[in-house]
């Protein structure tokens, strides 16, 4: 089969690789029909090379058709249409029972002290072959895949793999009071979808970004938008002026280590890419190489007693935090990988009863799998208005 594979920094290719096969009686094989490129895939493309090996298959946002099922799979059969969550979670352990599927005890990568394995995402998370491919082996066939109805296009459902539950959890964790105000920092795929979910719930939403196309896209759905380029030095004051002088009830930080405004950390990330893998791993795990500008902004912007929900991905030890300010303002911090299977049951009705969150026009680009290298470069450079790219094998 053809699959998108990693070969080095900014070097992904479409290679011919062996087809996956049933390995456990609860496995299913899915023929992939759509697979997204995620913002966190750009971290593999740019920063996290020390934790990858040449030939690793990327991708963690797939959906498709079940081609084959293991002997103990009773909930699916060949021909079923499914979305595959990015967490590899068993659905039966203590953590899954708590709704913490991203901490699944069955697939935790104890060698690295990390949570549940993820499809297509480095040695830190199990080095499981990903879904930017023609076929995908999916374990836990009775509990992991999300069965979706026939009829609507893939675009309606594919975001159940990551974007929707990540944004949904971000809004849940933000704990916005009824009628409250939410600021979303970063209007990439997760920030954009978080805005849509928050508007659907009736909150006032203020979105912040640097990219004109992303600002316009959010404005078109009713978000009040601010261009960070115009408010680099006074963003917090401007937002306080919009919120009775005290700041918003909640902030979603949907940027993470891609944050603008931290040249020292950017340099550290670039230097990491030049080091031998063993040294780079140690630097990333122990040194403060994350670009924390967005998180510092969130801490400044949120009102006293408010909540910050962190959806942006951090890849190293982000240090130091302004603990005095966090303590003094009595800020609540919530964060973590999305627990996909915790939220899919709540989200699915918004996709089957019409397209309430605008998923069918969410993708800005749909390209053949064979054009994945060009799509990665375009997305990484934010060219051609790229916000969300879907690969179609």
The beta-strand segments (E) located in 186-285 are 204-209, 224-227, 250-253
156 and 12 in a common domain: yes
Say if residue 158 is in the same domain as residue 188. no
- Same structural domain, 22 and 76: yes
* Cβ neighbours of residue 3 closer than 8 Å, sequence gap 6 or more: 14, 15, 17, 57, 129, 130, 132, 133, 134
* Of 296, 320, 335, the domain-final residue: 335
Domain boundary among 335, 352, 368: 335
As given in the structure block, the two tokens for residue 330 are: 């009595």
Paired tokens of 223: 């978000």
Domain boundary among 310, 335, 360: 335
Closest CA to 206 of 331, 336, 298: 298
- Report residues of the chain scoring pLDDT below 70: 257-291, 313-320
Q: Quote the pLDDT of residue 177.
A: 97
Structural domain that includes position 315? 164-335
- Same domain? 181 vs 321: yes
Query: Is residue 172 domain-shared with residue 148, that is, in the same domain?
Result: no
Q: Residue 204: which residues within 8 A CB-CB, separation 6 or more?
A: 179, 180, 181, 182, 224
Q: Are 42 and 152 within one domain? A: yes
pLDDT of residue 257: 56
Whether residue 309 sits in one domain with residue 355: no
Do 269 and 305 have their domain in common? yes
Provide the 3-class DSSP secondary structure of residue 242: helix
- CA angle 180/181/187 to nearest 5° reads 140
Q: Residues 156, 159, 163, 168: is their CA dihedral positive or negative? A: positive
Same domain, 323 and 355: no
Q: Are residues 364 and 240 in the same domain?
A: no
Instruction: Please report the pLDDT score of residue 314 as a whole number.
Output: 63
The CATH number of the domain holding residue 36 is 3.90.180.10
pLDDT of residue 323: 82
d(CA 9, CA 45): 6
In total, how many domains does the chain have? 2
- State the pLDDT at residue 315: 55
CATH code, domain carrying 287: 3.40.50.720
Domain shared by 276 and 367, yes or no:
no
Cα(13)–Cα(3) distance, integer angstroms:
8
- Tell whether 249 and 300 lie within a shared domain: yes
Task: Go through the chain and tell me how many residues it has.
Answer: 393
Q: State CA 80 to chain mean position distance.
A: 25
What Rg, from alpha-carbon coordinates, does the chain have?
A: 20
């Amino acid at each position: 089969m053809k699959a998108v594979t990693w070969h080095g920094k900014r070097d992904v290719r479409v290679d011919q690789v062996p087809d996956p096969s049933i390995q456990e009686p609860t496995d299913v094989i899915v023929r992939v029909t759509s697979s997204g490129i995620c913002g966190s895939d750009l971290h593999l493309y740019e920063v996290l090379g020390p934790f990858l090996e040449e030939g690793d298959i990327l991708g963690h946002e797939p959906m498709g058709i079940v081609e084959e099922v293991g002997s103990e799979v009773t909930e699916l059969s060949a021909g079923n249409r499914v979305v595959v969550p990015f967490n590899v979670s068993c659905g039966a352990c203590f953590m899954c029972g708590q709704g913490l599927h991203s901490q699944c005890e069955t697939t935790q990568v104890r060698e690295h002290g990390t949570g549940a394995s993820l499809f297509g995402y480095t040695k830190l998370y199990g080095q499981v072959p990903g879904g930017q491919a023609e076929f995908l082996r999916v374990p836990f066939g009775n509990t992991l895949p999300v069965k979706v109805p026939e009829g609507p296009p893939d675009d309606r459902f594919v975001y159940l793999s990551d974007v929707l539950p990540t944004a949904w959890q971000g809004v849940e964790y933000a704990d916005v009071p009824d009628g409250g105000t939410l600021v979303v920092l970063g209007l990439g795929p997760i920030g954009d979808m978080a805005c849509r979910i928050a508007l659907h719930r009736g909150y006032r939403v203020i979105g912040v970004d640097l990219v004109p196309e992303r600002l316009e896209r959010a404005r078109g759905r009713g978000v009040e938008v601010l261009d960070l380029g115009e408010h680099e030095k006074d963003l917090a004051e401007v937002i306080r002026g919009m919120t009775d002088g005290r700041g918003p009830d909640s902030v979603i930080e949907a940027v993470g280590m891609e944050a603008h405004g931290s040249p020292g950390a950017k340099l550290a990330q670039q230097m990491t890419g030049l080091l031998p893998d063993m040294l780079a791993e140690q630097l990333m795990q122990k040194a403060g190489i994350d670009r924390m500008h967005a998180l510092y902004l969130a801490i400044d912007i949120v009102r006293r007693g408010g909540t910050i929900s962190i959806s942006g991905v951090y890849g190293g030890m982000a240090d130091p935090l302004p603990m005095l300010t966090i303590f003094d303002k009595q800020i609540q911090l919530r964060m973590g990988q999305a627990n996909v299977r915790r939220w899919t049951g709540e989200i699915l009705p918004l996709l089957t009863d019409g397209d309430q969150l605008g998923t069918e026009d969410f993708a800005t680009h749909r390209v053949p799998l064979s054009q994945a290298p060009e799509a990665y470069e375009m997305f990484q450079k934010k060219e051609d208005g790229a916000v969300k790219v879907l690969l179609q094998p």
